[in-house]
Amino acid sequence: MRSVVISGTGLFTPTHIITNDELVAAFNSYADAHNDRHKGAIERGEIAAVPHSSSEFIEKASGIKRRYVMVKDGILDPERMMPIIPRRDENDQSFSAGMAVAAAKEAIERAGKQPADIDLVLCGASTSERPWPAVAVEIQAILGCSGYAFDMTVACSTATFAISTAMDALLSGSARCALVVNPEFASPQINYRDRDSHFIFGDVATACILELEETSTATHRFRITDRQLKTYFSNNIRTSVNFLTKAEPDITLERFFERDQFFAQQGRKVFKELLPLIYTLIDGQLQKERIDIGEIKRLWLHQANINMNLFVIRHLLGRDAGTAEAPVVLDEYANTASAGSIIAFHKYHDDLASGDKGIICSFGAGYSIGSLIVEKV
């Protein structure tokens, strides 16, 4: 039977860094100014005061120490709490395409391919700069790829779902070589005035080249031996930003700054509901493939929250794992939505030997879970 390999990966990391301390200082200045402005209403009990955020809480609750962003200007301004991103002309390259192309070039080189070898470009991210023309088609044109291209999203599981979609195309013969890119430009979608979520996301782009094993020549190739995709509807991680907002009868500028126009979640509920779904899916997948967890050399897990990952690891292994076994990148990158597990895979796979097995697993909004068992060729 023919098999599909990931034959190259790439990573684009933005240059601007925001530490927890910087973010918290801006939030607390915003909170103080807000509380001063509404002192009377707060004292009368009409509105609640905005409590301070803290770096200690963020690191303990999430494991995040800092994040990269495409644009830092404006985010730390307590009067604005939003990046300042001038509108790009339609003839200018989009941010997402630029991020994706940078990651793609590294993946193409590592796979030993030329852009013209690629006849399918799949661009998948949690948020998109525009609905159409597809960013994937723009990326296809910039790189000079052939064939066809399209965008897709399954929130935090977009990368694993896109890899699976690319596999289908390769196995059916509708493509010979696929590029999957995940430009996660998350920072403008964060509500920097919301203490519960102002620290969660960072920007990044990842890329993977997929092809049939028989055409691949790269040194580091990973055969995908099994894939499990699963979704369950939940509003616990949600954004309601959409093209209908501007048609609402009582539309105002303030409406665009309301909570539901940004990323919002019930973090505790997500924790409680999603965890059992994740380890049940992985347990079932290993059982189906008759693989003992002891044979799994590496777990490249979704990078949203360190405590979630520790929980999944303890359930699967019956013990804690070192970072060599289950790499952590969220301390440096924060939650990068669908790119997280791919950053971990990209940075921590070269040392594995032929025959070594690992799991790339993403989970998040939807709810959605995508789990790939891979084996080094």
List, by residue number, the catalytic residues: 156
Tell me phi and psi for residue 252, to 5 degrees: -140, 170
Nearest distance from C-beta of residue 241 to ligand CO8, angstroms: 10
62 binds ligand CO8 (CB under 6 A): yes
Residues 223-242, mask of contacts with ligand CO8 (x by CB under 6 A)? --------------x-----
Our CB check for ligand CO8 shows the closer of 142 and 275 to be 275
127 binds ligand CO8 (CB under 6 A): yes
29 binds ligand CO8 (CB under 6 A): no
Alpha carbon distance 337, 349 (integer Å): 20
Give Cβ neighbours of residue 57 (< 8 Å, ≥ 6 apart). Answer: none
126 binds ligand CO8 (CB under 6 A): yes
Alpha carbon distance 185, 336 (integer Å): 8
Instruction: Fill in the DSSP letter of residue 89.
Output: P
Our CB check for ligand CO8 shows the closer of 10 and 124 to be 124
Number of neighbours of residue 317 by Cβ within 10 angstroms: 15
57 binds ligand CO8 (CB under 6 A): yes
According to CB under 6 A, which one of 110, 113, 195, 349 is a site residue for ligand CO8? 195
Among 158, 201, 202, which Cα is nearest to 180's?
158
Nearest distance from C-beta of residue 87 to ligand CO8, angstroms: 20
Nearest distance from C-beta of residue 349 to ligand CO8, angstroms: 23
**Interaction with ligand CO8 in 155-184: which residues (CB under 6 A)?**
155-156
308 binds ligand CO8 (CB under 6 A): yes
18-35 burial, b at 16+ Cβ within 10 Å, e below that, comes to bebeebbebbbebbeebb
Residues 75-94, mask of contacts with ligand CO8 (x by CB under 6 A)? --------------------
Beta strand 204-212 with 4-12: parallel, antiparallel or unpaired?
Answer: antiparallel
- Write the CA distances from 1 to 34, 132, 212, 225, integer angstroms: 63, 37, 11, 11
Total residues at the site for ligand CO8 (CB under 6 A)? 30
DSSP alpha helix (H) spans, 112-201: 135-143, 158-172
362 binds ligand CO8 (CB under 6 A): no
Alpha carbon distance 206, 125 (integer Å): 10
Q: What is the contact surface with ligand CO8 in residues (CB under 6 A)? A: 53-54, 57-58, 61-62, 126-127, 155-156, 186, 189-190, 195-196, 201, 237, 263, 265, 267-268, 270-271, 304-305, 308, 335, 337, 364-365
